[in-house]
Amino acid sequence: MTAKLGAAGARNLFDPLTIAWESLYWPGGDNFQAEGYTDGQVLNSGETIPDESPNGNDATTSQTDLTLTYAASSNVNGKPAVRGASIASGDHPSYANTLATGLTSYSVVVVWYQNTILQSFSQIVHDVFDSAVFSLIIAQDGRLGIGANSASNYTAAGTIVSGNTYGFRINFTPTQATAHLDDSEIFDSVATMATLNGVKMFIRNLTSWPFSGDLAFLGVFDGDVAAETEWPSFAQWVSSQFGATI
């Protein structure tokens, strides 16, 4: 089993899978660790980012490149993460899944460390078929961009600063999108929502806007995850594991 340790080294018994994620990509989780990836190993075609949830929504890629690696002790509080090299070339791996049933009311939770952005944007995640449905992206000047189908928003320049770890969550209903960064609301808009069909991570359209940083946690939840009974315990776990406020 994966050890779950707090920041001071004390055992933290909370299991994030107490929350019924639709899909969960967590390099510190049991399924990812069972892949046996070694520190610094390149993630390429045939190397899965497994779903930690029981739903089997593994993320896979058909591309081969040298720009994504596994960091056993990442910049996210020393915890395992997938690291982007900030460079787009050829067929940059874009890990994706397609859900068996799309979601119309859902939450996305992301914890990542921001590295220096070398190109115009750093793409973290977007809908597997259409980035207009949902997108989380960072501009080179530190603006955090949120795409939410009929509504979208960029925060002020300098919102995201390289060298820091961030916690992000967004909740969608069929008529509303509300996002928080480090537990502060940054976006709340009436919007006509489209169905989330799955997620694509680390790149936009295979050749542009590569992920720049360390991704330690990305969860998709059917509904409002912050309304779950276990959310306060999960938020404490995120703080102790990753040094992030969610």
pLDDT at position 206: 58
pLDDT at position 55: 97
DSSP 52-119: SSTT---BB-----SSEEEESS-TTTT--EEEEES---SS---EE---SS-BSSEEEEEEEEE----S
Q: Is the pLDDT of residue 70 over 90?
A: yes
Long-range contacts formed by 224-230: CB under 8 A, 24+ apart:
224/105, 224/107, 224/171, 224/173, 225/19, 225/107, 225/109, 225/169, 225/171, 226/107, 226/169, 226/171, 228/19, 230/18, 230/19
CA distance 125 to 25: 12
- What tens digit of pLDDT does each residue of 204-225 get? 765 678 899 999 999 999 999 9
Least confident of 183-192, 223-232, 237-246: 183-192
Give the mean pLDDT of 184-198: 91
- What tens digit of pLDDT does each residue of 37-50 get? 999 998 877 889 99
Q: How confident is the model at residue 27 (pLDDT cuts 50, 70, 90)?
A: very high
Residue with the bigger pLDDT between 149 and 174: it is 174
pLDDT at position 6: 39
The predicted model scores a pTM of 0.92
CA dihedral 165→73→238→1, nearest 10 degrees, is 160
